[in-house]
């Protein structure tokens, strides 16, 4: 499964010399044709963004809570959920991963809403698995909040989250801007839910999911008083006591302020931050504050949630989605108990959508693969990207009040939360296109570079959404057990910004040099870099090495040589690279996993940047891509190679399996162009 110390040996006989180059060229041509064919008429690309069944379960629970759940939607969602159940009865949060307690509880409840009987074989297996793993009491706080909405858990047994939190100034510990933007957008509406403690009794009980139905919520162990856990446990007890004596005028004012904060951040498409979870909780919060379902704010919010749904006909054919990419592939699990894989439509909920990210990555891949820079589809993509630049201020301006805007967001509509990662990659993409209005591109890039320079954290690196979002206190809150809640600088984001600055001939600018120094200090002893937004060390290293070389480090630099040696040492025996998400909690999994197209692409990008185009490792990696390519020019990749929160929330970007292999093949062919004769110029399509 994982590479040996010397990188192993290919088990298949691969073409050599001119034949190998021609095979790589043909693979790039097929991938190019596939990718060009996926572009939307408006100029963007978007692959499905697959996460886990909690998105689908919580969507049904929301509709049940609001009284708008319909049978057609419910059954389509249930088909998707059933097909993701593992043989042990549990649901994992990524392909091939272990069962997850909270995901299993939420999936089980959703299937109960869909009418699945608790004594059905697949349900009994799920319930038994939940009990063996601690029951509902051991599930995360977010899961128990959902259950509390229906009377399946006591509000008194949940951490207190007062709406008065909205009044803490930005310099005070644990103010809302100490949280990452995704957590902030979720926590503010949940303070309303916590204050209201609504209960709309569910249509059934969940006794079968408790280890002890008589005492479903056993006392939790108390942490030593001198520890942070002990401090925050005492703080939570104090907040529960405060709830009983909170001045009513202050609480009412806080709830109004929360409502105003939420409404001010609703995007033009009705969603919040382009992300499904904050949208769900914002709708619930505003509804509890008296906003009817026909109110324009809630009506737009509910309509936006429908746009997170990807429908297919049960056989893999899309029947209703804003994306042009194919719907999520079936990753295994049992078929529906009542009839195979074609018994009705299937509905998957995306946590968010990634058109800006996918479009800039697709543009880079196509140009690097030899598509002419003035190709009409590339110009159309650049036009769409230029129109998406965010020219208004958002929450980032709390820490950078004088900074002019100029970034790009990840999603279709998200003016409040542009991010540095997308902004850097968009600039890299725009500079690859021969746009008919270069002055327009120059102006957009100038705004972006200025904004990115201003978003540098004091340690010289870049976080994704905010500056110096590094306080560890939010992670200590009893409420925050759902994943990463802060946005510290990361190697992959910093590398992308450094690479962009170098491309703008700013490699010697103090901002870039500080970024380079930070990256060099962050390299781990083995030679790799931690990957925050992609899995994991293969992603971090695949980002850092090209950036450092672009910024002026020679391939002979010790840091580059250590990275090359490490990548060669972890190459799989089949010639590819792979890394399982378990590498986040368990170092033994670092760079171990089945070979994937996206991770092989990342490793090749690093090796090629380091000048290794003639190495055996690169030739074997390219041969693996050629050998595993599907007839349509894409690659099969059920593995999850993206992250929302490392380990806690994993993502399968369905376009990664195409854009990163194509980028690697294109750069390989460019690096070897003069070595062997080849038929064709690699620019078909």
- Provide the 3-class DSSP secondary structure of residue 320: strand
The Cα 212–Cα 209 span in angstroms is 9
Per-residue CA distances from 532 to 178, 408, 583, 584, 647 (Å): 19, 19, 12, 9, 10
Q: What does the DSSP 8-state code read for residue 341? A: S
The Cα 415–Cα 395 span in angstroms is 10
Look up 294 and say whether it is catalytic.
no
Contacts of 511 (CB under 8 A, 6+ apart): 452, 453, 456, 501
Q: What angle do CA 637, 641, 645 make, to 5 degrees?
A: 145
Contacts of 483 (CB under 8 A, 6+ apart): 644, 645, 647, 648, 649
The Cα 46–Cα 426 span in angstroms is 15
Beta bridge pairs of residue 557: none
Contacts of 322 (CB under 8 A, 6+ apart): 46, 307, 353
Per-residue CA distances from 181 to 55, 304, 398, 465, 475 (Å): 19, 19, 12, 7, 14
Residue 677: Cβ-neighbour burial (10 angstroms; 0-12, 13-18, 19+)? exposed
The Cα 189–Cα 259 span in angstroms is 8
The residue among 459, 488, 461 whose CA lies nearest residue 473 is: 488
The Cα 266–Cα 283 span in angstroms is 10
Contacts of 422 (CB under 8 A, 6+ apart): 356, 357, 360, 407, 408, 409, 410
The Cα 477–Cα 203 span in angstroms is 32
The Cα 335–Cα 459 span in angstroms is 51
φ, ψ for residue 579, nearest 5 deg: -150, 125
The residue among 656, 18, 39, 615 whose CA lies nearest residue 371 is: 39
Q: Which of 48, 100, 421, 580 is catalytic?
A: 421
Q: Kind and range of the H or E element at 645?
A: strand 642-645
Q: Is the dihedral of CA 459, 464, 469, 472 positive or negative?
A: negative
Contact 506, 449 (CB under 8 A): yes
The Cα 347–Cα 72 span in angstroms is 10
The Cα 11–Cα 575 span in angstroms is 8
The residue among 533, 564, 569, 532 whose CA lies nearest residue 546 is: 564
Q: What does the DSSP 8-state code read for residue 272? A: B
Contact 275, 281 (CB under 8 A): no
The Cα 217–Cα 24 span in angstroms is 59
CA atoms within 13 A on the CB side of 58: 25
Q: Kind and range of the H or E element at 311?
A: strand 309-312
Beta bridge pairs of residue 650: 643
Active site residues: 421
């Amino acid at each position: 499964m994982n590479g040996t110390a010397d990188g192993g040996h290919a088990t298949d006989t691969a073409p050599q010399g001119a034949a190998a180059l021609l095979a790589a060229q043909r693979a790039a041509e097929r991938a190019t044709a596939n990718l060009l064919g996926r572009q939307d008429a408006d100029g963007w690309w978007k692959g499905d963004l697959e996460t886990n069944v909690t998105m689908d379960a919580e969507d049904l629970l929301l509709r049940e809570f609001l009284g708008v759940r319909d049978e057609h939607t419910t059954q389509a969602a249930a088909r998707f959920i059933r097909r993701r159940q593992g043989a042990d009865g549990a649901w994992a949060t990524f392909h091939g991963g272990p069962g997850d307690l909270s995901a299993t509880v939420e999936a089980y409840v959703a299937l109960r809403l869909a009418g699945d009987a608790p004594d059905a074989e697949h349900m009994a297996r799920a319930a038994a698995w939940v009990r063996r793993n601690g029951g509902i009491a051991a599930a995360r706080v977010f899961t128990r909040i959902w259950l509390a909405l229906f009377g399946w858990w006591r509000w008194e047994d949940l951490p207190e989250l007062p709406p008065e939190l909205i009044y803490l100034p930005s310099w005070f510990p644990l103010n809302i801007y100490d949280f990452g933007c995704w957590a902030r957008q979720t926590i503010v509406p949940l303070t309303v839910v916590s204050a209201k403690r609504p209960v709309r009794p569910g249509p059934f009980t969940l006794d079968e999911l408790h280890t002890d139905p008589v005492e479903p919520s056993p006392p939790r162990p108390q942490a030593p008083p001198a520890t942070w856990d002990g401090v925050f446990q005492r703080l939570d007890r104090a907040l529960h006591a405060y709830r009983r004596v909170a001045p009513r005028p202050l609480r009412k004012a806080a709830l109004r302020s929360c409502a105003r904060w939420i409404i001010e951040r609703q995007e033009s498409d009705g969603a919040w931050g382009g992300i499904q979870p904050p949208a769900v909780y914002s709708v619930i919060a505003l509804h509890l504050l008296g906003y009817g379902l026909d109110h324009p704010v809630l009506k737009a919010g509910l309509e936006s949630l429908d746009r997170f749904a990807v429908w297919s006909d049960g056989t893999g054919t899309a029947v209703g989605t804003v994306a042009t990419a194919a719907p999520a592939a079936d990753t295994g699990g049992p078929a529906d108990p009542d009839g195979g894989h074609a018994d009705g439509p299937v509905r998957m909920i995306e946590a968010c959508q990634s058109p800006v990210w996918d479009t800039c990555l697709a543009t880079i891949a196509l140009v690097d693969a030899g598509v002419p820079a003035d190709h009409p589809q590339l110009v159309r993509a650049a036009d769409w990207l230029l129109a998406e630049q965010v020219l208004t201020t958002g929450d980032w301006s709390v820490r950078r009040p004088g900074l002019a805007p100029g970034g790009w967001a990840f999603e279709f509509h998200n003016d409040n939360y542009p991010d540095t990662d997308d902004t850097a990659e968009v600039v890299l993409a725009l500079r690859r296109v021969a746009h008919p209005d270069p002055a327009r591109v120059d102006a957009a890039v100038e705004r972006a570079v200025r904004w990115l320079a201003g978003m540098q954290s004091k340690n010289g690196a870049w976080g994704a959404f905010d500056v110096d979002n590094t306080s560890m206190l939010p992670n200590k809150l009893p409420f925050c057990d759902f994943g990463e809640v802060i946005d510290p600088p990361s190697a992959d984001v910093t590398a992308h910004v450094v690479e962009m600055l170098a491309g703008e001939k700013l490699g010697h600018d103090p901002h870039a040099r500080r970024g380079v120094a930070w990256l060099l200090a962050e390299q781990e002893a083995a030679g790799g870099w931690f990957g925050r937004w992609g899995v994991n060390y293969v992603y971090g290293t695949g980002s850092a090495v090209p950036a450092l070389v672009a910024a002026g480090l020679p391939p002979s630099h010790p840091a580059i040589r250590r990275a090359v040696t490490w990548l060669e040492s972890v190459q799989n025996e089949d010639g590819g690279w792979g890394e399982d998400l378990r590498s986040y909690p368990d170092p033994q999994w670092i760079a171990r996993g089945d070979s994937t197209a996206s991770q092989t692409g990342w490793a090749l990008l690093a090796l090629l940047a380091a000048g290794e185009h003639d190495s055996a490792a690169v030739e074997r990696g390219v041969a693996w891509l050629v050998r595993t390519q599907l007839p349509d020019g894409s690659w099969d990749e059920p593995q999850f190679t993206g992250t929302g929160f490392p380990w806690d929330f994993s993502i399968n970007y369905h376009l990664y399996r195409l854009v990163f292999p194509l980028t690697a093949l294109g750069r390989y062919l460019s690096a070897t162009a003069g070595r062997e004769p080849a038929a064709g110029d690699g620019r078909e399509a």
